[in-house]
Structure 1
Amino acid sequence: MVIHGEKIFTGHQDNKIRVWKLNEKQKVLACVATLPTFSDRLMKIVFAKNYVEIRRHRMCTWVHHVDVVSCLALSKDGTMIYSGSWDRTFKVWRTSDYKCLESVWNAHDDAINAIVVSHDCVYTGSADRKIKVWTRHNGEKKHKLVDTLEKHKSAVNALALSTDGSILYSGACDRSIIVWEKPRGGDDDARHMVVAGALRGHSKAILCINVVGDVVFSGSADKTIRIWKRGIDGKSYLCLGILEGHKGPIKCLAVALENGTSSSHGGTSYLVEAENRKIHRSKSDEPHVTGSKSFARISDEESQKNKGVPPSRGRMYCLTRTNKQGIVHAKAAKVVIR
């Protein structure tokens, strides 16, 4: 899912991308477009050159995805939407009129599971265990492959970029998060990534990653969320916390900087103070949290103490407890957001 202004773009198992907009009167989301649009399809079916072979003896126009749309990404300037699919292709769509501008066929040898966009590159992660780096220079109509990153031992499921695009995080079924960085060299290597480290700790596949500043959040099939902090040296990482409580795999993570909450697929919310790299600890196994946009309060029945946390842009909050090894674990706290 991608949010762009008042519109929401979603990818679906029926091979389509849908655009939604909030109906102010009815307070519901209304579908305003389906990609590829009817006009786009109509323009392409006329000419034979617009058809590509997707399977033996089966043809389709290049604007169509022919398998699940698994991932979406928005360009930095908001003018383009990138879609990745299990059909091994990624496509480029214009956000103003939803026209498909480009389709890169056979971008990978297997399904594309993740796609992220920096100011000058597109990164695609695939079940073929590879991450590919694509770029399109000014004046060019087609993306070109500039690098292939190979380190994972199994399917790549998740990708995330640092704010400045200099660090790429990739999560895979091999239970590891690989940290890639641009080498400090000449301009010829400016778009190439090299392995800078790995984050290990999850016991099952990594399914999603989100980055806020120098804090990395990872969700896994092991039903936990891990919080990692990048050190001052920019190379070392420390696991700040392990959030437990979900009864199923963590398939997606979202960070809301305005409201001060992080959310995850599964129904339980956890609050984390990310701006100051702190985790507020509670001695109780079942602490109680209340909060709003202006204040968050931790109520610990065991210690009989209430701790208030003042608001600050970019903060998130969570309740945790610490074991003897100093690792922070979170119980499924009762969370009420008023």
Structure 2
Amino acid sequence: MKGILLVNLGSPDSPSPKDVKKYLGEFLMDERVIDIPLVARTALVKGIILNTRPKQSAAAYKKIWWKEGSPLIVISERLKKSIQKQVEVPVALAMRYGSMTIKKGLQELVDKGVDEVLLFPLYPQFAMATTETITVLAEEIRQESFPNLKIESVPAFYNKPDYIEVLSHSISESLKDKPYDHLLFSYHGVPERHIRKSDVTKSHCKIDGSCCETPSKAHKFCYRHQCLEVTRLVSERLGLKKGSFSTSFQSRLGFDPWLLPYTDRTIERLGKEGVKNMAIVTPAFVSDCLETLEEIAMEGQEIFHEMGGNNFHTIPCLNDDKPFVNLLSNWINAWSKQSVIV
């Protein structure tokens, strides 16, 4: 029997500093998030970050926390319920970090008689710190606890025409009657070394301004290429004029080089250059979360207004919008009936 396990990032159980510290500890100790030797990672995370950041992050979570709970969790649960109504196979939901573990999600499916799982990371683009850490952990759990379970994973779907169509439609609908001079595509940032580590050719990814546009096998696992490709495909689909849109990366951590340009500095620059009406979309996320609701919608807007901007419009993620639910349900039904992975 087949089943689906949707997996998103995760969230603290509450916006309290204690729960946020526990969540950040698990998240930042992941070797695919902070990919430095264990001793150094432990010293950095447990010796420095967890002694300073939880209170700050808890305050940010409190700003965006819903009555029903964490926005990311609530939205993901709504998405799962909506999909379940359109597919015949069991659907479970798990998070990479936090109390809604992948092991619990797999156990829920196994208890329903499932012996073949389609692991569905809810990330359009591949990255070490998102898709890879989910698939690696799922395989470890399978070997330890569910040796007879078969698991297949949905690959990155950033360039699938039907996904681009749904994303473009969402942007277009959100911008109806909204004045904007510039549309910024903001993606979650990653360290530059993650791009090079994911390069299967070991030589193509130089992050030099041209490698992402030069055809290569490396693009299958190149987060930067996949982000730029989403921007290109959506801008073409929407008929955006050159100069009216751009790409940036948010949420950097530490002092190592991360993907450029940075979102906060891009917002600042656009404001200084005289852009008065700005829209921003975050296609690395399918569910609104701390990074979209607080970092972009609140902090980004504040920066823009400080630089003289007027209107700052944040485009919601796809969340549980009907076209997105239909898209994922169609993919799942194709797999359940014909074993066709996206």
TM-score, structure 1 normalization? 0.27
- Report which of the two has the higher share of helix: 2
Q: Give the structure with the larger strand fraction.
A: 1
Q: TM-score with structure 2 length normalisation?
A: 0.26
Q: Which has the higher contact order (CA 8 A, sep 6+)?
A: 2
Considering only CA atoms, is the larger Rg found in Structure 1 or Structure 2? 1
